[in-house]
Amino acid sequence: MYLNLDAIDAKILFYLQKNAKMPIKEMSEYIHLSESAIHARIRNLEERGCIKNYVAVLNKSMVNKKLTSFTGLQLRTHTQYNLITSMELISKFPEVINCYMVNGDFDFLLHVAVADMQEYHSFFSNALLKVKNIETVKTFFVLDESKADNRIDLSRRSRMRH
């Protein structure tokens, strides 16, 4: 089951998703709650596994990964063995930053980050196409990211507003 988070927990998680190193003092001013209460709640959220971990997010263009894509893969034969072994192999490619098994037109959807088109070509030819049982590959190059921070909205906004 999931945790029942109140409005204060949601606010804490909002700030932590934006800045994991926000001083508790600062957060306590935003939320209008004492530092000790904030601290206790954060520890609670960590202990109950609501917060998975804290990570550094890199600036892709500064680490020479200017080209990203979503790449859909379809396998030829769909045995359990094929799916698992392909997924394991694909996940190990250094260019693949995320690998999802999906339903629909593709079996896998990969999030790929490379330096440039030449590197993508190399990845495509030397890695992807050498995976056994690949039927089709379809690439969606990312042209623009209007939102790409992976933040989960926990405010209880109703769908009715739209």
DSSP 8-state secondary structure symbol assigned to residue 61: G
Residue 34 binds to DNA (criterion: CB under 7 A)? yes
Q: Is 21 exposed, middle or buried (0-12, 13-18, 19+ CB in 10 A)?
A: exposed
Residues 6+ apart with CB under 8 A from 80: none
* Per-position x/- string for 5-24, each x denoting binding to DNA as judged by CB under 7 A, each - no binding: ---x------------x-xx
Binding pattern for the stretch 69-108 against a copy of itself, x by CB under 8 A and - elsewhere: xx-x--------------xx-xx-xxxxxxxxxxxxxx--
Residues that contact DNA, how many (by CB under 7 A): 16
Contact residue for DNA among 39, 121, 138, 151 (CB under 7 A):
39
74 binds, among a copy of itself, DNA, none (CB under 5 to 8 A by kind): none
What mask of x and - would describe binding to a copy of itself in positions 115 to 144, judged by CB under 8 A?
A: ----x--xx--xx--x-------xxxxxxx
What's the start-to-end Cα distance of the chain, in Å? 29
| 5 is an interface residue for a copy of itself by CB under 8 A | yes
H or E element in which residue 106 lies: none
Nearest CA to 42 out of 74, 14, 76, 2 is that of 14
DSSP state of 63: G
The listed partner (a copy of itself, DNA, none) that binds 23, CB under 5 to 8 Å by sort, is: DNA
Residue number with CB closer to DNA (36 or 77): 36
Q: Do 117 and 68 touch, CB atoms closer than 8 A?
A: no
Q: Which residues bind DNA (CB under 7 A)?
A: 8, 21, 23-25, 32-37, 39-43
